[in-house]
Structure 1
Amino acid sequence: MAESTEQQGWTGGRDAFGDFAPGMVHYTDRVLFDEVWEREALSKRDRSLVTISALSALGKTDQLQFHLAYARRNGVTDEELKEALLQLAFYAGWPNGMAATTVLKMIVEGEEHRA
């Protein structure tokens, strides 16, 4: 019974790590995405903007790849993402803003080439 419960909900951690890092899987899937991202006080769109801001400011482009694409699925437009990254560049440092914008450009252009 516990196994079927573990399989429900978000599976990004399990998809990334399988049985390699069960703690990371649990906290990513069950706590972060199944609990925190589902809280009603902020929309997923707003949570995406907050997350992108933090990841951009910290220069975490590996995680930013997922979260920029996820923000688009959560209703943030490409123009809004570009504008948010421009705003962030002034507060988080120009290199971080440039790196984040490069990641967004790769996502958008990659999608255009697949279409």
Structure 2
Amino acid sequence: MLRKYITSLLIITCLLVIIKNLELISLDSITAINTSFLIGIVLMVIGASIHVSSTEFFTLFFKGFSDLKLFRQSQALKRENKMIQENTSVMNWKKQFLRSCIGLSLGSGTAFIVFSSFLATLS
């Protein structure tokens, strides 16, 4: 995850600096700073949300809701979920995919925030 984080951080920061220097996008500095900061914050919130949901933090809440019968599941859905949980190759793929998404979204978000800070110091 750290490798994907650092790679996406460096690649996106370099691309944004190149785009700004070549002036491929004609934005005034305040608009570019605000837009890149907002995109960075949204990407970091997405990455944090994926991380929290992948750590099974909400499992306790969902188990409590299912005990209270607020969320009902059919027997077929319960059997299917159990089969998926027992399939190790699917679970390994899911964990690897989520880790990649976390690294890429947090790295990209950090890159956009670094870029907005870079633009703010230049203007």
Q: Do these two structures clear the TM 0.5 threshold for a shared fold by scoring above it? A: no
Instruction: Decide which structure has the larger Cα Rg and report it.
Output: 2
Structure having greater relative contact order (Cα 8 Å, sep ≥ 6): 2
Q: Normalised by the size of structure 1, how large is the TM-score?
A: 0.35
Q: Normalised by the size of structure 2, how large is the TM-score?
A: 0.33
